[in-house]
Structure 1
Amino acid sequence: MKKNHWIWLTVFVSFISACAQKTIPESLAALNKESVTYISVDELRSNPTSYIILDAREQEEFAVSHLPNAVFVGYKNFELKSISEKLPKKTETPIVVYCSIGVRSENIGERLQKAGFTNVKNLYGGIFEWSNKGYPLIDKNNNTTKKVHAYSKQWGKLLTNGEKVYD
């Protein structure tokens, strides 16, 4: 097999393995490299204004709900240049990136680190863990909500506290 085929096979097997996981810790252990330091939802909740909070999900997920004061940056269409222009102090700006559980946010965190940002953290468990703990979420109109875009039925199993939305 060609090298690229082995890479895709490894990614596929990892994805299937992660989908079979029943908890957020099992899923993160299967999918993440821990290349971006984690921050717990409790730690972020205790001092949220100390960080720039970046939401690395898609626009439809962000519209359903997001963490208070989060800035949408997306995943598929993430623009590093835009972030670099808005946050020029790469070594001083404390950043927390999150997604559903912490997989996509690790990828965005790695890109930020490669661009020179030195104080980047990945929210362990993402918005699912935030909601599971009962912490507040807001919708696109800045109203408090219990709704969370659950990404898919498989990933939605990891969301145990909140109203699951799939569209």
Structure 2
Amino acid sequence: MRYLIYSLLLFISATVWSQSTIPLVLKKLNKQSVPYLKVAEIKDHANLVFMDAREPKEFNVSHIKGAISVGFDHFKMKNVSTAVPDKKATVVVYCSIGVRSEKIGEQLLKAGYKNVYNLYGGIFEYKNQGGTVVNNTNIKTDSIHTFNKEWSVYLNKGIKVYEN
């Protein structure tokens, strides 16, 4: 299953690599089934639950401080229910640019979570707009795992990492 998902993501990468901006990629790949929350709309991190829908190796390089790693390949709703039992909590799901996070957001909505948002442009846009990220030891970092070299074109600020 993991091989199939990575193959699909690599195919998508090749298909959309010619797209020059995050908005064009999201328009092509997403259904907008989960409402977007733009980085500029984030006012108070304390009232939000961030969920990182990237894989652990990506999360370990960098993530939004306080985010819960829920992954994509091995996502388990049981882990989310344990970490966030309040289904009225405001949950912001993100990944690299917002494709995987839409899929996880759909599952959260289906499970009864009421206030789920997909971070528009994901961690790339968050960093591009000056957001602070931390590594697996909770230390501020400029490194961002970009999944692969093709996807790294969408990160304009920070250090691009696609190995680890």
Using structure 1 for the length normalisation, give the TM-score. Answer: 0.87
Per the alignment, residue 16 of structure 2 pairs with 18
Note the aligned Cα RMSD (angstroms): 1.7
Q: Tell me which stretches of 4 or more aligned residues in structure 1 moved more than 3 Å.
A: 11-17
Matches of 2:14 and 2:76, distance apart in 1: 29
What is the number of equivalent residue pairs in this alignment?
A: 155
Name the SS of the counterpart of 1:76 in structure 2. Answer: coil
Stretch deviating more after TM superposition (79-88 or 59-68)? 79-88
Once residues 84 and 50 of structure 2 are traced to their aligned partners in structure 1, the CA distance between those partners, rounded to angstroms, is: 12
Match of 1:38 in 2: 36
What is aligned with 2:56? 59
Counterpart residue type for residue 143 of structure 2? K
CA distance in 2, matches of 1:42, 1:32: 21
Cα separation, 2, equivalents of 1:132 and 1:112:
27
What TM-score, normalized by structure 2, do the two folds share? 0.89
Paired letter, 1:21? Q
Q: Which residue of 1 aligns with 2:81?
A: 84
Instruction: State the match for 1:5 in structure 2.
Output: none
Superposition deviation, residue 68 in structure 1: 1.1
User: How many Å apart are 1:59 and its aligned residue?
Assistant: 0.5
Contact residue 54 and residue 95 of structure 1 kept, 8 A: yes
For residues 61-85 of structure 1, the C-alpha deviation after alignment (integer angstroms, 9 at most, x for no partner) is 0010001111111110111112123
| Partner of residue 146, structure 2 | 150
2:121 pairs with one of 119, 125, 148:
125
1:50: Cα distance to partner? 1.0
Gaps of 5+ in 2: 1-8
User: CA contact under 8 A between 1:17 and 1:30: conserved in structure 2?
Assistant: no
